[in-house]
Every structure is written in structure tokens, then in C-alpha cells.
């Protein structure tokens, strides 16, 4: 058959295979292990917001194709949210675009803004869709590695500067950062902002964990720094903030020119989705501050439960300043191969984790690190900690 004379999957995607999450979730299912691999909460978000979705569905709001840029109620709520939390002003009509989760926002931004051959600087370890989307857009990814330093994974700003070339088109940021839990500081963001302006780069910034910050860490959108609003696409999502990851409602905020560019790609990916959920998320974004405070306090307790448990089980723990993931170093347990460790962990201890190495181009830099999600019920985390304690007992 002629079709078989060359590989079916094109060269841009062939390197990616299936995601580690599929492999590890299958392993969890087969072994009955507790799945702290994939990052989704095991309880749903606020009842009031679920009811808002039901109401929209019953009232016939959003059951047919919503407007391409998203329903006006949600675009207004996103603009209000950016103003209230960060003092950023965006016009709901021309500067907000609703997307199918942050995932589509990332894909559409890269497909719209990159020419083949453009270089994209991404913080390594990186969220798995970044590499695939850069590849689909024909771009070249240039990873800058976050390295452990004083109990956190930090960006080397000189290294970042050194990686910018005449082919660099954009810097792809993620703060708070998955998987390391690092929250970029004002000082770090200021240097990145200066570099972007000096070298005329765009910034696409994935801020889906914006509300999940701990210990006084402050989430600062780079778009709020001087000179950055006009060159930044900011990405948000309801999934992580409101514990409705299945709804896939995300958005970008950016200048009219950038928003129009991203919309050009987005309209041919999905056009629109999640009609009734868009109305519910509009309501969620307007929840009082107590919702966001309670979310943080609740996750902080779980972070500490899991972090303390991992430390007790012998891991070196990088207690995160943001996100709902904790990265641990397995070397004190006598091995430095995180991939082999995670493949064996369900049988050994009945827990699933993700090896950070899969989020690196420089695999050796990520080899000894593994990621656990703590967005799970307290009883589940307690049981996981109890099981992990058996590793050294």
C-alpha cells in the first residue's frame, strides 16, 4: 500500500509519542495505585458554579455556537478580573478571546505568532504541550533550565539572555510554574521584560495557576510591567482556579492586534466550544475574595501534608511557592533514574508520580526529580503518605 511507504505520523510530531500521563494513569488503573500523577482535583469546584452551568444549559444559553471570541458575559468577567486582581485594563470586545482551555490558547498563540524557523525560549522543565505546539508551528524550542538552588528551582537570567538570537521570536513563560512550583519574582520578571524590549521579542505567558500561590508569594503578570502590555499574550483558565478541568474554558488577554492574530488561528482549530460553561465561568470569576483565599488555604494544608510526608519518606522536597505540584529528589532513596523509579513505584508503594525528566530536553538535568500532585482529598493524601513511608521501612 503506497500510504505505508512512509511513516504515517509526520516528522514534526513523531518525536512526541503518547504522553507520560496516559502510561502512568494506565499503570495506576492496573495496579490500583493512588494516582498523584495527573494534575486534576478529585473533588469538583463550587456547587454554585455547577448550578450556574445547569441553569445556562436549561435556559438555552450557549447550547448553540456562541460568538467566536466567546460570550460577552465571560469576556467582560475576564476583563474585570484582570483589572481587579492586577490593575490591567483590557477591552472585552477587542482584547479578550475565550479559548478551549489554556491548551488551545497556547496552540493558537504559537500557530499564529510563529513563522517556521523562529526560535522560542521556554523554561525547562516545560508543560508537555509547549514542545508539541512549537513543533506544529514549525518553530524551534530553546530550553532554559530552571535549576535547584536554595530549596527552589530558579531561572538563570544570564543563561536566558545568552539564548536570545536573531531568530528568537518569543519567550514562552509559565508562572506559577508546572512542575517545579516556582513563582517568578518581580526582579526576575523585570529582567525578562527588559530583555524582551531590548530584543523586540513577544512574550506568551501561561498563568493558569495565578491564584494558587503560598507563603506570601505574589503572582505578577508580566503584562503589568512597563512596556510589556503591547508585546504580551496572557493566558488564563478556569480549570485550575475553579476545579473544573473538564470544562475546558480558557482565555487570552492581549492588545487588539495580538488578540486578532491569535483568533485567526483559533477560529480554524475549534471555532468555539463550552457554550453553557462560559456563562458559569463568568460567574465564577466574580466570586468574592473569600473563595480565592479559601482555595489557597485549603491547598496550602494539602501541600504541607504531602511535602512533610515525602520528606518523612526520605525524599528531598522542593516545597512549591505555587501550583498544586510538589517536586521531590529521589537521590536520597538511592537512585537517580526518575523514569525507572516512577515505573516501579505503583508496584513498590501503590502510588503514581510523574518523572520530571519527560519535561526536559536535557533529560539528565531532570533525571532525579519526580512530581506529585496534591490537589486530592486529604484522606487520599494521607493514605499516599502512609504508603510512601514503606519505601524506607
Ligand X SMILES: *Cc1c(COP(=O)(O)O)cnc(C)c1O
**Nearer to ligand X among residue 174 and residue 307 (C-beta):** 174
**Nearer to ligand X among residue 42 and residue 347 (C-beta):** 42
**Nearer to ligand X among residue 88 and residue 208 (C-beta):** 208
**Nearer to ligand X among residue 248 and residue 387 (C-beta):** 248
- Does residue 66 belong to the site contacting ligand X (CB under 6 A)? no
Max CA separation in the chain (angstroms): 62
Site residue total, ligand X (CB under 6 A)? 14
- Does residue 208 belong to the site contacting ligand X (CB under 6 A)? yes
- Minimum Å gap between C-beta 257 and ligand X is 24
- Minimum Å gap between C-beta 129 and ligand X is 7
Q: Which backbone phi and psi does 73 adopt, to 5 degrees?
A: -60, -40
**Torsion, CA 96, CA 101, CA 102, CA 108, rounded to 10:** -70
* Touching ligand X, residues 109-148 (CB under 6 A): 127
- Does residue 101 belong to the site contacting ligand X (CB under 6 A)? yes
For the purposes of burial, counting CB atoms within 10 Å of the CB of 314, is it exposed (0-12), middle (13-18) or buried (19 or more)?
middle
- Is the backbone of residue 67 left (phi > 0), alpha (psi -120 to 50) or beta? beta
- Does residue 245 belong to the site contacting ligand X (CB under 6 A)? yes
- Does residue 284 belong to the site contacting ligand X (CB under 6 A)? no
Binding mask 364-393 for ligand X (x = CB under 6 A): ------------------------------
Binding mask 250-279 for ligand X (x = CB under 6 A): x-----------------------------
**Nearer to ligand X among residue 277 and residue 279 (C-beta):** 277
Cell numbers 509559565: residue: 174
Q: Coil, strand, or helix at residue 329? A: strand
The three cell numbers locating residue 63: 447550547
In the bound complex, which residue of the shown chain has the CB atom lying closest to ligand X? 101
Q: What is the 3-state secondary structure (H, E, C) of 233-246?
A: EEEEEHHHHHCCCC
For the purposes of burial, counting CB atoms within 10 Å of the CB of 293, is it exposed (0-12), middle (13-18) or buried (19 or more)?
exposed
CA distances from 164 to 117, 120, 130, 142 (A): 14, 9, 18, 9
- Does residue 178 belong to the site contacting ligand X (CB under 6 A)? yes
- Does residue 102 belong to the site contacting ligand X (CB under 6 A)? yes
| Contact yes or no for 232/222 (Cβ under 8 A) | yes
- Minimum Å gap between C-beta 74 and ligand X is 14
- Minimum Å gap between C-beta 26 and ligand X is 20
The three cell numbers locating residue 103: 491548551
- Does residue 174 belong to the site contacting ligand X (CB under 6 A)? yes
Q: Which of 92, 239, 338, 350 binds ligand X (CB under 6 A)?
A: 239
**Nearer to ligand X among residue 101 and residue 350 (C-beta):** 101
- For 48-71, give one letter per residue: b (16+ CB within 10 A) or e: ebbebbeebbeeebbeeebeebbb
**Nearer to ligand X among residue 102 and residue 261 (C-beta):** 102
Q: Which of 82, 237, 241, 278 binds ligand X (CB under 6 A)?
A: 237
Q: Return d(Cα 319, Cα 198) in angstroms, integer.
A: 34
- Does residue 244 belong to the site contacting ligand X (CB under 6 A)? no
| Contact yes or no for 249/281 (Cβ under 8 A) | yes
- Does residue 309 belong to the site contacting ligand X (CB under 6 A)? no
Please identify, among the stretches 30-38, 96-104, 146-154, 221-229, the one whose residues bind ligand X according to the rule CB under 6 A: 96-104
What is the binding site for ligand X (CB under 6 A)?
101-103, 127, 174, 178, 206, 208, 237, 239-240, 245, 248, 250
Amino acid at each position: 500500500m503506497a500510504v505505508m511507504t512512509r511513516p504515517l505520523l509526520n516528522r514534526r510530531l513523531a518525536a512526541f509519542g503518547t504522553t507520560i500521563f496516559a502510561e502512568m494513569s494506565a499503570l495506576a488503573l492496573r495496579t490500583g495505585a493512588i494516582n498523584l500523577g495527573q494534575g486534576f482535583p478529585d473533588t469538583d469546584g463550587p456547587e454554585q458554579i455547577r448550578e450556574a452551568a445547569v441553569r445556562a444549559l436549561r435556559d438555552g444559553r450557549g447550547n448553540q455556537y456562541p460568538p467566536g471570541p466567546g460570550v460577552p458575559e465571560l469576556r467582560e468577567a475576564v476583563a474585570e478580573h484582570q483589572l481587579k486582581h492586577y490593575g490591567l485594563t483590557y477591552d472585552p470586545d477587542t482584547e479578550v478571546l475565550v479559548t478551549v482551555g489554556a491548551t488551545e490558547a497556547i496552540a493558537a498563540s504559537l500557530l499564529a505568532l510563529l513563522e517556521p524557523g523562529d526560535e522560542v525560549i521556554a523554561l525547562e522543565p516545560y508543560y508537555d504541550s509547549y514542545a508539541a505546539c512549537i513543533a506544529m508551528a514549525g518553530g524551534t524550542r530553546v530550553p532554559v533550565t530552571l535549576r535547584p538552588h536554595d530549596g527552589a528551582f530558579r531561572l538563570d537570567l544570564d543563561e536566558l539572555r545568552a539564548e536570545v538570537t536573531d531568530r528568537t521570536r518569543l519567550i514562552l513563560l509559565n508562572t506559577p510554574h508546572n512542575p517545579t512550583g516556582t513563582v517568578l519574582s518581580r526582579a526576575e520578571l523585570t529582567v525578562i521584560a527588559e530583555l524582551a524590549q531590548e530584543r523586540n521579542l513577544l512574550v506568551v505567558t501561561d498563568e493558569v495557576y495565578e491564584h494558587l500561590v503560598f507563603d506570601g508569594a505574589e503572582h505578577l503578570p508580566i503584562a503589568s510591567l512597563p512596556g510589556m502590555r503591547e508585546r504580551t499574550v496572557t493566558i488564563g483558565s478556569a480549570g485550575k482556579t475553579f476545579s473544573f478541568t473538564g470544562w475546558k474554558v480558557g482565555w487570552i488577554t492581549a492588545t487588539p492586534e495580538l488578540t486578532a492574530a491569535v483568533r485567526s488561528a483559533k477560529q480554524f482549530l475549534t471555532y468555539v466550544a463550552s457554550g453553557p460553561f462560559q456563562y458559569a465561568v463568568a460567574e465564577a470569576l466574580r466570586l468574592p475574595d473569600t473563595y480565592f483565599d479559601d482555595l489557597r488555604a485549603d491547598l496550602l494544608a494539602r501541600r504541607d501534608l504531602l511535602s512533610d510526608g515525602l520528606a518523612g519518606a526520605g525524599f528531598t522536597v522542593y516545597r512549591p511557592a505555587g501550583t498544586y505540584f510538589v517536586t521531590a529528589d529521589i537521590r536520597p532513596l538511592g537512585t537517580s533514574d526518575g523514569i525507572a523509579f516512577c515505573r516501579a513505584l505503583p508496584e513498590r508503594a501503590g502510588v503514581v508520580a510523574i518523572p520530571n525528566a519527560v519535561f526536559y530536553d536535557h533529560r539528565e538535568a531532570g533525571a532525579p526529580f519526580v512530581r506529585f500532585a496534591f490537589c486530592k482529598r486529604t484522606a487520599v493524601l494521607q493514605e499516599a503518605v502512609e504508603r510512601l513511608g514503606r519505601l524506607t521501612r
